[in-house]
Structure 1
Amino acid sequence: MLKIILPTTMLLPVALLSPPKHLWTNTTAYSLLIASISLQWIAPSYYPLKTLTPWMCTDQISSPLLVLSCWFLPLMILASQGHLQHEPNTRKRMFISTLVIIQPFIILAFSATELMLFYISFEATLIPTLILITRWGSQPERLSAGIYLLFYTLISSLPLLISILYLHSKTGTLHLPILKLTHPNLPTSWTTMLATMALLVAFMVKAPLYGLHLWLPKAHVEAPIAGSMLLAALLLKLGGYGIMRMTLLMGPLSNHLHYPFLTLALWGALMTSSICLRQTDLKSLIAYSSVSHMGLVIAAGMIQTHWSFSGAMILMISHGFTSSLLFCLANTNYERTHSRILMLTRGLQPLLPLMGLWWLLANLTNMALPPTTNLMAELTIMIALFNWSPPTIILTGAATLLTATYTLYMLLSTQRGTLPSHITSTLNSNTREHLLMILHIIPMLTLILKPDLISGTPL
């Protein structure tokens, strides 16, 4: 673990001391090297838990997410070069430093075996994200978006801290491997119910659950491209990961606790998909589609079966790549047209033909077309939900239909139609942008060939 965390922290002096001419090259190349070293974590292992240090370990649930978080650092640096090119050199260095600072905290959160360490790193990711949104966001509303993000996360995580301390007073330890061995002998009283609720709600806000999701579209729309990628690919996954980790500790959940979360998650998948159909802002549309997909992850995490956990893991990784790719494509459009409104940026395929190919691939994976891992994940989750309760097929089926509808609407409105009269010329797409799209698409296509690497089940 140290051979990833130490090089990642050494990226800070690289970002702060590199000569201006080589700043982007050095940081991108170095972080790509770290990402390639991190691929060792998903190597097949015969042990369910690989202990790296007394407080950190990887298993089938955390290792794919750890590799994902290392993989996205060079991608975020690559994607940000366009909108930072006119910034002074100091601000470029500060921007890269903020991205680098957040990385060890995410790695710690995904690999911590001690609940208090997990809580601290889970909360620490909030501060650099807040700095990214409020300092480098695009619109004046970025301050209100930052306040929404801060208060939603802080208010929901205070009960989490209290319930972690309550768990410690009852069991005497917060070490995850030991907690799994101790029988949950807590009396089934309303206090236990409240503690379980408190453990879950913080992750539900982060995931986000429908009804607690209002901070997400705001944060996505106002954030710079690296902020959007960070939120979509990694920070939402902290919520899903937390749900999968915590539900295992609580033993079988009582039905009283299942129903509100499952209902909100599935109803939210349906509602946010229909909200997407009438969005005018491209980034807002992609943000709402994230809420819809993460709703399925929450529902799968709540029913606690092997199938549902496997489906949730695959969907989290697939959604990380797909959603981030869509945000990158939306950003390339925005850098050329300076607008995110769908009516003002339509018909760009004749001007940027190769970008049209990336748009098509991204939208097909978002629709969960075979043979993508998205389809495998959604089918697995749907079957698990159907086995748990047959009527859920109505909600999941309708949400899938609406997902296909708004994805096609997004593809047609950005690529097809007559070009608006105010767009007379645009910059050609460059090699950096195509490299960024390729680095998103290659993992998505290779994981189709071996999806058990990310399925969260012992190999």
Structure 2
Amino acid sequence: MLKIILPMIMLLPTTLLSPPKFLWINTTMYSTLIASLSFQWLLPTYYPHKHLTNWTGIDHISSPLLTLTCWLLPLMILASQSHLQHEPLARKRTFIATLVTIQPFIVLAFSATELTLFYIAFEATLIPTLILITRWGNQPERLSAGIYLLFYTLISSLPLLVSLLHLHTWTGTLSLPILQLVHPLLTNSWPGLLSSLALLTAFMVKAPLYGLHLWLPKAHVEAPIAGSMLLAALLLKLGGYGIMRITFMTTPLSNHLHYPFLTLALWGALMTSSICLRQTDLKSLIAYSSVSHMGLVIAASMIQTSWSFSGAMILMISHGLTSSMLFCLANTNYERTHSRILLLTRGLQPLLPLMALWWLLANLTNMALPPTTNLMAELTIMIALFHWSTPTIILTGTATLLTASYTLFMLLTTQRGTLPPYLTSIQNSNTREHLLMALHIIPLLLLILKPELIS
């Protein structure tokens, strides 16, 4: 564990002391090295916890998310280069330092076996994200987006702290391996019901559940490209991971507590997909599509069968890579046309033919076409939901249909059609961007060859 966390922390002095000429090269190469080191965590294991220390341990729920975390750091640095090229050196250093600071916190949150440490890391990720959005966002609305993010997360996570303290006074420990051995933790009494509701709500806001999702499109639209990638690929997964970790502690509860969450998640997948169909803003469309995909993850992790957990896990990983890639593509369009409005950025295929290929691949994976892990995940979740209750097939089926339609709508409006008259000259796509897209799509296509790594 330390052999990844220590190099991550040492990235900070590297960022602050690298000569200006080598700043991007050093940070990208160093973080790529850490990412390749983190692949050792993916090896399937039969033990409940690998690399177990007093505070951290890795099991099959956290290892795929940890590898995803390490893998995305070099990609975020790669994606931000042209967005920061005209900024002074001090600001570049601060930007990379903020990205590097958030990384150990996410790694700790995903690998903590102590719920206090998990809570601290879960909350600490908020501050660098807030700095990224409010300092490097594009529009003046970024301050209100930051406030939305801050208050939604804080209001939901204070009850989480209270219920963790309640758990501690009741069981005397917050260590996960020990809590798994304790007899049913939260009973059907009112304190038990309320604390499990508090535990779930904090993660539902982070995931986000439909109805608690209003901070997400705002934060996504205002954030710089690295902020969007971070939010879509990692911070939303903290919610899903928290639900998967916490639900086993609330199992003896009456299932009535799960019904409203399940209903909202499935209904939300339907609603946000239909909201996507009438979006004019490209980033906003991708943000709402994240809400609909995470709705499926929440629904699956609330059923608590091994099938549904496995499907939720695969969907979290594949959604992390797919939505991150879509945000990168939206950003390459934005850097050339300086607009995110779909009507003003249409018909780019004749101008950027290679980019059109990446657009096609990203949209096909978003639609969950075979042979992508997205398809495997959605099928697994649908089967699990169908076995839990037959009528859910109507909701999931309609959501899939709507997903396909808004994804095709996004592909056709950005790539086909007549060029807007104001686009007279456009900058060519470069190797850095193609490498960025390839590093997103290659893991997605390779994982289908050995899906047990992430299930």
Q: TM-score range by the shorter chain?
A: over 0.9
CA contact (8 A) 1:247 1:253 kept: no
Following the alignment from structure 1 to structure 2, what is the Cα–Cα distance between the partners of residues 372 and 33?
Answer: 26
Compared CA separation, residues 138 and 54, structure 1 to 2 (3 A): same
Secondary structure at the residue paired with 2:196? helix
Q: Deviations over 1:374-418 (max 9, x none)?
A: 000000000000100001111000000000000000000000000
Q: Which residue of 2 aligns with 1:47?
A: 47
Secondary structure at the residue paired with 2:283? helix
Letter in 1 for 2:360: L
1:85 aligns with 2:77: no
Letter in 2 for 1:329: L
Q: Deviations over 1:321-346 (max 9, x none)?
A: 00000000000000000000000000
Which consecutive residues of structure 2, in runs of 5 or more, have no partner in the other structure?
Answer: none
Q: Which residue of 2 aligns with 1:178?
A: 178
The number of residues matched between the two structures is 455
Structure 1 residue 255: Cα displacement: 2.2
How do residues 52-451 of structure 1 correspond to structure 2 at under 5 angstroms?
A: 52-184=52-184, 186-451=186-451
Q: Deviations over 1:44-68 (max 9, x none)?
A: 3231211332110000000000000
CA contact (8 A) 2:187 2:193 kept: no
CA contact (8 A) 1:233 1:323 kept: yes
Structure 1 residue 369: Cα displacement: 0.2
* TM norm structure 1: 0.98
CA contact (8 A) 2:208 2:236 kept: yes
Structure 1 residue 14: Cα displacement: 0.7
CA contact (8 A) 1:106 1:122 kept: yes
Structure 1 residue 186: Cα displacement: 4.2
CA contact (8 A) 2:186 2:252 kept: no
Q: Deviations over 1:174-227 (max 9, x none)?
A: 000000000115441122111100000000000000000000000000000000
Q: Which residue of 2 aligns with 1:23?
A: 23
Secondary structure at the residue paired with 2:330? helix
* TM norm structure 2: 0.99
- Percent same amino acid at aligned positions? 83
Q: Tell which has more relative contact order, 1 or 2 (C-alpha 8 A, sep 6+).
A: 1
Q: Deviations over 1:77-99 (max 9, x none)?
A: 00000110000000000000000
CA contact (8 A) 2:14 2:26 kept: yes
Letter in 2 for 1:15: T
Letter in 1 for 2:397: G
Alpha-carbon RMSD: 0.7
Following the alignment from structure 1 to structure 2, what is the Cα–Cα distance between the partners of residues 264 and 39?
Answer: 36
Structure 1: 4+ residue segments shifted above 3 A: none
Which consecutive residues of structure 1, in runs of 5 or more, have no partner in the other structure?
Answer: none
Following the alignment from structure 1 to structure 2, what is the Cα–Cα distance between the partners of residues 451 and 186?
Answer: 34
Following the alignment from structure 1 to structure 2, what is the Cα–Cα distance between the partners of residues 437 and 364?
Answer: 14
CA contact (8 A) 2:168 2:174 kept: yes
Letter in 2 for 1:119: Y
Bigger CA drift: 9-18 or 253-262? 253-262
Following the alignment from structure 1 to structure 2, what is the Cα–Cα distance between the partners of residues 231 and 70?
Answer: 15
Secondary structure at the residue paired with 2:84? coil
CA contact (8 A) 2:186 2:249 kept: no
Structure 1 residue 238: Cα displacement: 0.2
Secondary structure at the residue paired with 2:52? strand
Structure 1 residue 253: Cα displacement: 3.6
Q: Deviations over 1:219-269 (max 9, x none)?
A: 000000000000000000000000000001122442220110000000000
Following the alignment from structure 1 to structure 2, what is the Cα–Cα distance between the partners of residues 185 and 131?
Answer: 38
Following the alignment from structure 1 to structure 2, what is the Cα–Cα distance between the partners of residues 213 and 100?
Answer: 26
Letter in 1 for 2:172: G
Following the alignment from structure 2 to structure 1, what is the Cα–Cα distance between the partners of residues 246 and 111?
Answer: 14
CA contact (8 A) 2:272 2:291 kept: yes
Letter in 2 for 1:418: T
Compared CA separation, residues 344 and 415, structure 1 to 2 (3 A): same
CA contact (8 A) 1:373 1:444 kept: yes
Secondary structure at the residue paired with 1:310? helix
